[in-house]
Amino acid sequence: MASSATAASLRPSLGAAAAAFRLTSSSSSPASRICPSILLLQTSSFSTSSPLSKRHTYPGARSNKDMSKNRGQSALRRTGLRWRLSMSDEPLPKPRSRDELPPVEVDPDHGLWDFFPNRETVAAAPEDDMKHGRAWMVEELRGKSWEDLHRLWWVCVKERNRIATGSWERERGKMGFGKSEAQTRDREVRNTMRGIKHVLTERFYAWEDAVKLAENDPEVDLSGKGRVFTPTEYLEEEGAVETKAEEEVVGSREAVEAEAVVVPPGEKAQGEAARI
């Protein structure tokens, strides 16, 4: 049984070798008189299972998945593919041209527009970056309220983001201009932010000192119940005002009682008749 199986498996190879031998024997060229085994190697196909080299995924196709987990591994080093590969006859998607794409709707009031100096350019021109004033001084910022300092701080943050965006676009596009002007403008903005921090630090230290003094001040109540600041002079003045108001009320009442006149009954009747 084994011999018959071996003979059946070798029959195609023997037929190809005999055909190659007949070709070499019939040719008169010396170059064609070569070993039949070499011709066999040159004329044989790369793979005897060509249908398995492509995986079909269309509906109704038969499954030809390779179930061998060791496919592609070396017999000596046991190395091969680190991940599975798949093949398919589906066509690859083709990119669409820009003209065929639908227009993109952009919000005209979107907040990201603030990262650019205007909507026509991605970076400001050097002459536009040089149109700026000096930084705010600490003496000027001391007179600002907390709300004003808060607004000014975020205006500086927005300006720094705009300068950074323009600098990044110049580096990306290799424009080669505007770097020095942008750095000068950014330096003035940073000096303003440094002054705001200085003023807020002074106010924080003053607040800490005020809290320490208030803890030992009998006129200040930090418990959170009732009036926070109650000066002693205010209490004395308030008591004096209340006493004076009471005296005025009592005096006016006595004056009204003194001016009241008791009318006799007869005169009262005559007065009512005259009025009628």
pTM: 0.47
Rounded distance between C-alpha atoms, residue 215 and residue 209, angstroms: 10
220 backbone dihedrals φ, ψ, rounded to 5°: -115, 130
- Give the chain's mean pLDDT: 74
Helix (H) or strand (E) holding 168: helix 146-173
Residue 173, pLDDT above cutoff 80? yes
Mean pLDDT on 79-108: 77
In 3-state terms, what secondary structure has residue 147? Answer: helix
Residue of 150, 151, 185 lying closest to 165 (CA atoms):
185
Question: Please, are residues 196 and 143 in contact by the beta-carbon 8 Å criterion?
Answer: no
> Other CB atoms closer than 10 Å to residue 122's CB: what's the count?
17
Which segment, 27-41, 75-89, 138-152, 216-230, is predicted with the most confidence on average? 138-152
User: Is residue 195's pLDDT more than 90?
Assistant: yes
Of 21-25, 44-48, 144-148, least confident by mean pLDDT is: 44-48
Neighbours of 16 (CB within 10 A): 15
Question: What is the rounded CA–CA span in Å between residue 125 and residue 117?
Answer: 9
Tokens read off for 90: 């589906």
* Percentage of the chain exceeding pLDDT 90: 25
- Asked if the model's pLDDT at residue 32 lies above 50, the reply is no
The share of the chain scoring above pLDDT 70, in percent, equals 55
Per-residue pLDDT at 132 exceeds 80: yes
- How far, in whole angstroms, is CA 235 from its chain's centroid? 57
Q: Is 72 helix (H, G, I), strand (E, B) or coil?
A: coil
Please state, in angstroms and rounded to a whole number, the distance separating the CA atoms of residues 116 and 168.
11
